[in-house]
Amino acid sequence: MICFHNPLHHLHAPRHEFFRGNRVDCFEKPLRAGYVEQALAQGGYTLLKPDADSAALLAKVHDQRYLRFLKTAWEQWVALDPANAHAQPFPSVWPVRTLRSDVEPANFIAKLGLYSMDNGTPLAEGTWDAAKAGADAAASAAMRIAKGAPAAFCCTRPPGHHAGPDFMGGYCFLNNAAVAAQALLDHGANRVAVLDVDYHHGNGTQSIFYGRSDVLFVSIHGDPLTEYPFFLGHAEEQGEGDGFGFNLNLPLPAGSAVEKWFEALDTACSRITQYAPDALVVSLGLDTFAGDPISQFALTTADFFRLGRRLAALKLRTALILEGGYAAAELGANALQVIRGFEG
């Protein structure tokens, strides 16, 4: 399988985050991608650098105002006080119900709140460069699919599926899966399916494509009544306008058995087959693993081989885009098993 990676992912290296009100070391850290890169190299795969520029694609899936902010956020932060170069900014106010979001405030922390869905997505000096290179890697994988490759894997961080049209969140800044889907549409595909198997609902991807029929979004995830991102991912969300009927959420209770998860996967795959897309993008979150510190499903490493086989059975050109997975030491083996299952 063709494998791309993000050679700049290490530039996004915040020191801490806020998790359920507590300041903790970051769960989403450079070691995550490092373990995957190591496993791929030991498995005999060559890691390719991005060879596509995602700029035009980003402009189609994200708002320009948001992209301008994200690109200059660190510069703005340090301009307030040179000492900020050694501090991480966090939002402290958000434009919730009855407050306006159409006017961008001048205050930096207020702007950060405008473009954030949580306070658990810390910025660092190299965040933009790392996120942009990750989007480039996702676009590169999609371009190989568009040119006829049967499958490609993209090892990248920060992840992307929580990033919406005009906001960051859940460790995500740019939506890599949306970039890949848009790249496929721009290069010959008429219909693309995005399957999100991360433990957490891909709220950003859903939001980007919710009114569109050229992208089917299907997500298997922990029930948002109890699991992050809490405010999206319910079964009744089916799309709107032209996109009605092209959004399928399959929420499962925290702690659901492995077989229940694979039953949901079969339901997802049946809907994808019915849709008959030209290509498939998989938001490959591996935080469904039993040892994940912030998730509550129980897949084993061997189960990820089974996942790969089920995806291959769809017989679609497929781009696998790495998302979550916070049992860092096991992440490489789990990713490798998906690839082996898909190929085998």
**How far is Cα 290 from Cα 304, in angstroms, rounded to an integer?**
11
Catalytic residue among 161, 162, 200, 201: 162
- Nearest alpha-carbon partner for 65 in 162, 167, 135: 167
Q: Which of 171, 117, 180, 167 is nearest to 325 (CA)?
A: 171
Please give the single-letter amino acid code of residue 238.
Q
**Which residues are 19's β-sheet partners?**
22
Strands (DSSP E) contained in the chain are 2-5, 16-19, 22-25, 47-48, 151-155, 192-196, 215-222, 247-252, 279-284, 318-322
Whether residue 122 is preceded by a cis peptide bond, meaning omega within 30 degrees of 0, is no
| Full DSSP string of 123-168 | --TTHHHHHHHHHHHHHHHHHHHHTT-SEEEEE-SS--TT-BTTBB
Integer angstrom CA distances of residue 158 from 130, 145, 155: 7, 22, 10
Q: Is 187 among the catalytic positions?
A: no
Whether the CB-CB separation of 116 and 169 falls below 8 Å is answered with: yes
DSSP output for 46-93: PEEPP-S--HHHHHHHS-HHHHHHHHHHHHHHHHH-GGGGGS------
The closest alpha carbon to 60, from 220, 209, 263, 272, belongs to 209
Which residues are annotated as catalytic? 162
